Amino acid sequence: MDKFLEFSSNHPLLVLALLVSFFVAVFSELRRKASGLINIDAVAAVKLINGDAVVVDIRSADGFSRGHIVGARNIPSDELDAKLPLLEPHKSRPVVVVCDAGVTSNKAVSMLRQAGFESVYGLKGGMTGWSQEGLPVVTGKKTRSKSAKQKPGKKKQA
């Protein structure tokens, strides 16, 4: 204890900086938890998705077509309020909100929580973080397979 007091008296600015950073970290974490914003990493998101979570991609249609999570629904952030009724049937299921870098999803998470959704999470790092983890990404628009395009009973001509 004597060494700690001696260090503190010799380096008051370092001790002050340590205390300030500690209190800032605690305060920001408490504020985040109080507001209900919960960001999850890609591994936790995969667990939720495998457990029947709904993925809402709030990026533009262009960003969505460049690459998105399998089964994600594209509702751009500026249209989310108007298209909220599309998500109403999924209020009791977990919802994972995805944006480009994990920053703009916080607003959508707050909006969905205020609308009565029970468990809404933002994807930490967004699609950038998802891709960096090497997780699967669907690109382009969904197309039916060749066999589904072919009418039953008709053979494909060579």
- For residue 17, give the amino acid letter: A
Per-residue tokens: 87: 């998500």
- Catalytic annotation, pick one of 58, 99, 123, 127: 99
**99 carries an active-site annotation:** yes
* Active site positions, annotated: 99
